[in-house]
């Protein structure tokens, strides 16, 4: 956020603070759920890596590796390297949380293998969204201070690519979690009560994407109102 906008009380009260609150609550929910269920060992004594490997094999996905990645909650599927990367506290952990997160990332690998349409669309629009997110806010600011309505509209459209990306991301993430829970049940990776814990971890993680999307909507609505004031 540009330094001078820190002095804009309207922007601070209507965009920055609500955004911080949404992301703060979502982050606390994720950390709380992960902290709770990362301390409970699953009854089958499966590590996150073993769970991911079992799920991939059961779906016939043989060209994806399961690797360790440094950091905390840095778990992800890398479609270029064809690798499910699990953080230190997931890869070797036998906790309920580790199995849930590993299953979710395996779900992304299965989406890729099955050519799940939303994940293909998301990958295709990444360059456009990166450009829109980096330049859109500056175009809106310049348009506002130069009192150029058309420039502000252009900035809003550019920044809106972020929202499009987030709208596509939601079904991708929820679908990966649904696949994860289906695999957990069908392969009996967790007992019923343990599976409920894994679902809570994945649901909390999904809320971070919802919070980010709401933050983008708030930002866009704020700038739409400002653009109308310059018309």
Cite the active site residues: 105
Dihedral sign for Cα atoms in the order 221, 224, 228, 230: positive
- Rounded Cα distance between 18 and 110, Å, is 36
- Rounded Cα distance between 56 and 219, Å, is 39
- Do residues 183 and 103 make contact, with C-beta atoms less than 8 angstroms apart? yes
Q: 197: which residues sit within 8 A by CB, 6+ positions away? A: 36, 37, 40, 96, 97, 100
End-to-end CA distance of the chain: 24
- Rounded Cα distance between 216 and 74, Å, is 23
């Amino acid at each position: 956020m540009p330094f001078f906008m820190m002095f804009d009380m309207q922007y601070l009260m209507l965009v920055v603070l609500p955004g911080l609150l949404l992301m703060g609550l979502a982050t606390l929910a994720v950390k709380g759920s992960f902290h709770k269920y990362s301390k409970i060992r699953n009854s089958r004594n499966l590590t996150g890596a073993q769970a991911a490997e079992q799920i991939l094999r059961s779906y016939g996905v043989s060209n994806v590796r399961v690797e360790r990645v440094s950091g905390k909650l840095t778990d992800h599927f890398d479609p270029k390297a064809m690798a499910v990367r699990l953080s230190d506290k997931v890869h070797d952990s036998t906790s309920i949380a580790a199995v849930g997160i590993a299953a979710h990332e395996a779900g992304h690998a299965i989406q890729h293998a099955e050519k799940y349409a939303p994940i293909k669309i998301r990958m295709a629009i990444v360059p456009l969204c990166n450009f829109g997110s980096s330049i859109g806010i500056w175009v809106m600011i310049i348009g506002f201070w130069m009192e150029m309505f058309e420039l502000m509209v252009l900035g809003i459209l550019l920044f809106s690519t972020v929202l499009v990306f987030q709208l596509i991301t939601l079904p991708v993430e929820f679908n990966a979690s649904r696949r994860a829970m289906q695999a957990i049940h069908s392969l009996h990776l967790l007992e019923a009560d343990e599976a409920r814990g894994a679902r809570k971890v994945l649901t909390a993680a999904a809320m971070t994407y919802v919070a980010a999307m709401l933050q983008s909507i708030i930002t866009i609505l704020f700038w739409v109102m400002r653009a109308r004031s310059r018309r």
